[in-house]
Amino acid sequence: MINIKSRSQIDKMQKSADILIRVFDELEKVIEPGITTKYLDSIAAEVIRKHDALPSFKGQPGMFRDSIPFPAVLCISVNDEVIHGLPSDRVLLEGDIVSIDGGVLLDGFHSDAARTYAVGNISPEAQRLIDVTRDSFFAGAAAAVYGNRISHISAAIQQVVESNGYSVVRDFIGHGVGRELHEEPEVPNFVSKFKGPRLEPGMAIAVEPMVNMGTYEVTVDMDNKWTVYTKDHSLSAHYENTIVITEDEPMILTLKR
C-alpha cells in the first residue's frame, strides 16, 4: 500500500531532510585524499546526534538471511562499489570517486539521499560519469508530476544515462519513503513492463539512479554480504533525493533551497 503523506507529515520529512542536507554539507568540506571512510561516517553520526535525530541506515536488515544488520550511519562506496559500502579504515586516494548514501529519522519520518564526490583531482571520464548521473536524476525528477506514472520517471532517467553511453543498474532501484525507510512504490531507473502507479499529491519517493561506466550487471561481496560492485569493475556513481509529489512542481526535500 502506498502511504499518502499529510501536510504535517511532509513538514516532518522536511525537517529530517534539512538535517541530512547538513550532513552532506559537512562531508563535502572534508573529502580529500588521505581520510578514511570511517572518518566520514563519524562526521555524519555527530551531525545527526547533534540534531537529536537517528541514522536511518544503522540496523537495517541485509539482503541475505545471515547478513548482519547494517553497522554504520552511511553507505560509502568507492570507485567500482555501487552501493552499500561499509565504512572502514580504507583511505581515500587522489582520483577516487566516492558515493555516499545516508538517511535521517526524525519524529517518526525518514529522509534519504546520496551524492558522488571527487577525491582530489579525478579524470575527465570519472567527472563526466558523476555529472551524467546527477543529470539523470533531474530528468527523472522533472517527470515526477501529478498524473504521470512511475514509468515516466524511469524512462527519463534511462534516456539520459544510455544516450551518454552508460548503463543503469537493474538489480537495485528507488522506493517510497516516509515512516519506513523503504515503502511502496518501487521506482526503477529503467523501463520495464512495470508501469507503476499514477503519481498523486502526497506520495513521497526516493529517486536514485545508480549508473555504471560499463555493464549494468553487479555482484555482491559475499564476505560482508553488503557491498555491491560492478561486475566488470568499471566505475559507478549514485545520486539520490527524497521527492514529494504535489499538485504543481515536485518538492525535492533533500536539496538546499
The pLDDT tens digits for 208-217 are: 999 999 999 9
Complete DSSP assignment for the chain? ---PPPHHHHHHHHHHHHHHHHHHHHHHHH--TT-BHHHHHHHHHHHHHHTT-EESSTT---SSTTPPPP-SS-EEEETTEEE-PPP-SPBP-TT-EEEEEEEEEETTEEEEEEEEEE-SS--HHHHHHHHHHHHHHHHHHHT--TT-BHHHHHHHHHHHHHHTT-EE-SS--EEE-SSSSSEEEEE-SS--S---PBP-TT-EEEE--EEESS-S-EEE-TTTT--EEETT---EEE-BEEEE--SSSPEETTS--
Q: Is the pLDDT of residue 204 over 90?
A: yes
| Model confidence band, residue 194 (pLDDT cutoffs 50, 70, 90) | confident
The pLDDT tens digits for 119-164 are: 999 999 999 999 999 999 999 999 999 999 999 999 999 999 999 9
pTM across the whole model: 0.97
Domains identified in the chain and CATH numbers:
7-252 (3.90.230.10)
| Model confidence band, residue 113 (pLDDT cutoffs 50, 70, 90) | very high
